[in-house]
Amino acid sequence: MAAAGLPATAPAPIRFARRFLAQYGLIAVLLIMPVAFGIHDLRTEGDLSRLGNNLLDGLSNGSIWALVAIGYTLVYGIVELINFAHGDVFMIGSFVSAGFFGTIGLTAAVGPGGLVAGLLLTLIVAMLASGVLNVMIERVGYRPLRGAPRLAPLITAVGFSFILQNVGLLWRGGSQQGIVDLIESQQVLFSVAGVFVTHGDALAIVVTIPLVLAMTTFISRSRLGKAMRATAQDPDAARLMGINVDTTISATFLIGGMLAGSAGLIYALYQTTIWYFQGFTAGLIAFTAAVMGGIGNIRGAVLGGLIIGVIQQTSDNRIGSEWTPAIVFAYLILIMVFKPSGLLGDERTVHQEERLLRDDRLRPVGVRGVGAGGAGGRLHRLPHQTGGPAAPAGGGGGRRRRGDLRPARRPAAGHQGARRGHRPPRDRRDARGSVARHRRRDVCRSGPAGAGLRDGRPRRRLLRHSDGVVRGASSRGV
């Protein structure tokens, strides 16, 4: 009868399937579409050139989403805020680039040297404009709400997104507008085994790789980059180490905005069309890429953007553009099922945050972790905390000890001595030494006969009366 209540062991095939899915399920999910369409191409066309073109076009599109996704993951890693206005900062970068083309008179008739110089100047202007705009959004909308509930800055971000959309609507109108195809983005530059590399593909990859490498090097090696990592890990500790947290957060928004501006220029040259609503779509895709790769992880954001670009291009070319959003989010759901932290996310992050929150709310009183009244592991609430159990009444005798930030409790009125039966910690008694104890005994003996303390252990606090009589003690002599 006892054996009947035990859980039955799963059969060996089921256990093997579970282990296989846990180890290789995520890889299998990512390879579903390429493998399936690769087999189809081999059967029908005899080569993989079509699949290669899909992958190349997807990587070039995904590099744009990767640049925008880095801004999302940078801001979330520092202040844990989803900056929904970031996609519209990307849109402003495209509009600034298109407007600057006309300002400097950059056309397709300009020679190669002038075209390269003009594009570099436009890239700098677009990055600076988007970066400054992002810093202004942080300074005006997010910094005053830094100590507010999480919902307040989130709604503020949505509000800034609508504001920027209306700015774009007033600037360029509500319809899509074409711009001058300066680089002839669809012209083939070279081909390899039937895979055609166009000017737009080369531009996207050539601009994205140096920017990502420069940004990661800056964050890992520069002084400000180390301050950003320290602020992301613990803002309070970074402040205590002398780091200007506000400046660091502003620098993070500046870097994210500059990357969004560069992505806006690449998008304008690659697609040759811009409109005010492109920021919403790009922001949604880039945020999905950041979550897919692991929010807060820069390499994960890049990887997520590239994967989404490949999925989009393959779906557009093979299945139909109307199914592309559903397929992208189906992939996101499957990845979250197999690895909730994202492709490159740290699974320990959530558990570490929960443990740190619990340790911060429940901190033991005293150095030894045992209260003076004999109760071990007592807990108290710090002044800056809003939750957690408060300290139990009793014990301590009005003395403040190291690690206890509560205000010292005073003895009741008319009671000058210690409470009956209270005993100070042993380390405090030992620290005074035998000479101090003998001195107190001599003072006690100067009073009337029979006046003494309980258990023959006198206290200096009990000798505050001018008549030499020890009150509040038993009649037992010293």
Same domain, 443 and 346: no
Is 477 part of a structural domain of the chain? yes
**pLDDT at residue number 10:** 65
In 3D, which of 128, 142, 164 has the Cα closest to residue 255? 128
With tokens 């405090």, the residue in question is 428
Which residue, of 352, 377, 412, is where some domain finishes? 352
Distance CA 312, CA 470 (A): 88
Which CATH number belongs to the domain containing residue 107 in this structure? 1.10.3470
What is the separation, in whole angstroms, between the first and last Cα of the chain? Answer: 69
- Whether 440 and 339 map to the same domain: the answer is no
Task: Pick the last residue of a domain from 352, 382, 415.
Answer: 352
The answer as to whether 374 is a domain residue is no
In a domain, 373, yes or no: no
The number of folded domains in the chain is 2
- Residues sharing a CB contact under 8 Å with residue 132, sequence separation 6 or more, in sequence order: 254, 257
Q: Specify if 151 maps to a domain.
A: yes
Cα distance between residue 248 and residue 1, in whole Å: 66
Contacts of the segment 361-364: beta carbons below 8 A, 24+ positions apart: 361/385, 361/387, 361/388, 362/388, 362/389, 363/403, 364/403
Per-residue pLDDT of the chain (478 residues; tens, 9 = 90+): 444 444 456 677 777 777 777 667 778 888 888 898 999 889 988 888 899 999 999 999 999 999 999 999 999 988 888 899 999 999 999 999 999 998 888 887 888 888 899 999 999 999 999 999 999 999 999 999 988 888 899 999 999 999 999 999 999 888 888 888 888 888 888 888 888 999 999 999 999 999 999 999 999 899 999 999 999 888 899 999 999 999 999 999 999 999 999 999 999 999 889 999 999 989 999 999 999 998 888 999 999 999 999 999 999 988 988 899 999 999 989 888 888 888 887 755 544 555 545 554 444 443 333 333 333 333 334 444 444 444 444 444 444 444 344 444 454 444 444 445 555 555 444 444 444 444 444 444 444 444 444 444 444 444 444 444 444 444 444 3
Region label for 421, one of left (φ > 0), alpha (ψ between -120 and 50) or beta (otherwise):
left
Whether residue 381 lies inside any domain: the answer is no
Say if residue 344 is in the same domain as residue 445.
no
What is the rounded CA–CA span in Å between residue 173 and residue 2?
76
Name the pTM for this structure.
0.70
Q: Kindly state whether residue 13 falls inside one of the protein's structural domains.
A: no
Same domain, residue pair 326 and 440: no
Q: Given this model, what pLDDT does residue 355 score?
A: 52
pLDDT reported for residue 358:
52
Residue 137 lies in a domain: yes
Residues 6 or more apart from 357 whose CB is under 8 A from it? none
Neighbours of 87 (CB within 10 A): 25
Angstrom distance (rounded) from CA 184 to CA 186: 6
Report which secondary-structure segment, H or E, holds 246.
Answer: helix 245-271
My answer on whether 247 and 335 are in the same domain is yes
Domain that holds residue 451: 426-478
The answer to whether residue 16 sits within a structural domain is: no
From 336, 352, 368, the end of a domain falls on 352
Q: How far apart are CA 135 and CA 133, in angstroms?
A: 5
Contact yes or no for 346/96 (Cβ under 8 A): no
Residues 71 and 178 in one domain: yes
For residues 77 and 176, state if they share a domain: yes
Together in a domain, 440 and 313: no
Say yes or no: 153 and 276 in one domain.
yes
pLDDT at 342: 84
Q: Do 448 and 326 share a structural domain?
A: no
Burial (CB count <10 Å: 0-12, 13-18, 19+), residue 178: exposed
Residue 450 and residue 329 share a domain = no
Query: Which pLDDT score is estimated for 203?
Result: 92
Residues 112 and 204 in one domain: yes
